[in-house]
Structure 1
Amino acid sequence: MKTQHFEILIQAPRERVWTTMLQSPTYEQWTSTFCEGSRFEGSWDQGQAIRFLDPAGNGMVSEIAEHRPAEFVSIRHLGFIENGKEDTTSEAVRAWAPCHENYSFSDEGGGTRLRVDTDVFGDYEEMMARTWPLALESLKALCEGTKR
């Protein structure tokens, strides 16, 4: 499994970037780059379960491994959700789970440097390399007030 790194400088305070990134309805807006209609169910609180879903209800079952508000978030992906059923034990899932997606927020140049480190597996590497930069540009526009 590989880890991909992405980062962007956003001209907004860390708290605004963090809130815009993780709360509805802006979460759904910037993540639409990955999948139109994407959403989450659950809590961003450390130790809590969270599900990342497409409009059909398929997606990832995960937990928040660590969360320091406006500083760091670590998501531990544990399995897939398909046709309403969670799979955290199949051989296909055990080949990659758990994997992590980490967000780091730091002050820089009057704004916020957002760093994303995400483990990728299978056929997702190229898609993530292409899509994360677009998603971060969308998040930047939301945070800076240039996208509605």
Structure 2
Amino acid sequence: MQKLFFEIQIDAPPEKVWDVLWSDITYRQWTTAFTEGSFYLGSFEEGSIIKFFDPNNNGMYSRIEKNIPHKEMKFLHLGEIYDGVEQEQAWGEATEAYILQETETGTILKIEINTPEEFQSFFEEKFPTALGIVKNLSENQL
């Protein structure tokens, strides 16, 4: 497993950043950095399963390990989805956490990822772009 860390300062309150991250419309916008047409199905309720898809009905499914509104969202990735069919993966503790820290001028958004090595370069390439989109949406949307 590889531990990856990303961070960005956003001049908007944590509530706004949170809404940009997890509201359906803005989620679809910032995740274009990973795959155009990305979306999710399910609930962000702690303990529930959420599914992340691309437009071809492929993606992954995860359990919500932690949901502290406006502060932290953590996923445990369980498996992949191909043509709508779930396939469990032996990823162990493959996690992805979004941590929002309020500052005097806004929010520091921190991403902590525990990932199998084969996904490391993908995340290192795509996450900075995704965070730039989150920043832009958070600072410029009404």
TM range (shorter): over 0.9
Contact map agreement 2:2 2:117 (CA 8 A) in 1: no
Q: List runs of 5+ in structure 1 lacking aligned partners.
A: none
The residue that corresponds to 2:58 in the other structure is 58
Equivalent residue runs for 1:1-148 within 5 Å? 1-88=1-88, 93-94=89-90, 96-145=91-140
CA distance in 2, matches of 1:71, 1:107: 9
Once the two structures are TM-superposed, the CA of residue 109 in structure 1 deviates from its matched residue by 3.1
Size of the aligned set, in residue pairs, is 142
Once the two structures are TM-superposed, the CA of residue 49 in structure 1 deviates from its matched residue by 1.0
CA distance in 1, matches of 2:105, 2:118: 38
- Opposite residue 36 of structure 2, the aligned amino acid is E
Tell me how large the CA RMSD over aligned residues is. Answer: 1.4
Q: List runs of 5+ in structure 2 lacking aligned partners.
A: none
After superposition, give the CA deviation of every residue in 1:65-88 in whole Å (9 maximum; x if it has no partner): 110000111111100111221111
CA distance in 2, matches of 1:98, 1:87: 16
Contact map agreement 1:79 1:97 (CA 8 A) in 2: no
SS state at 2:126 partner: helix
SS state at 1:25 partner: helix
Contact map agreement 1:59 1:82 (CA 8 A) in 2: yes
Query: Scaled by the length of structure 2, what TM-score is found?
Result: 0.95
CA distance in 2, matches of 1:54, 1:97: 23
CA distance in 2, matches of 1:126, 1:19: 28
CA distance in 2, matches of 1:77, 1:135: 19
Q: Which deviates more, 21-30 or 121-130?
A: 121-130
Contact map agreement 2:99 2:111 (CA 8 A) in 1: yes
SS state at 2:17 partner: helix
CA distance in 2, matches of 1:99, 1:139: 23
After superposition, give the CA deviation of every residue in 1:23-56 in whole Å (9 maximum; x if it has no partner): 1100000000000000000011111110010001
Question: Sequence identity of aligned pairs in percent?
Answer: 35
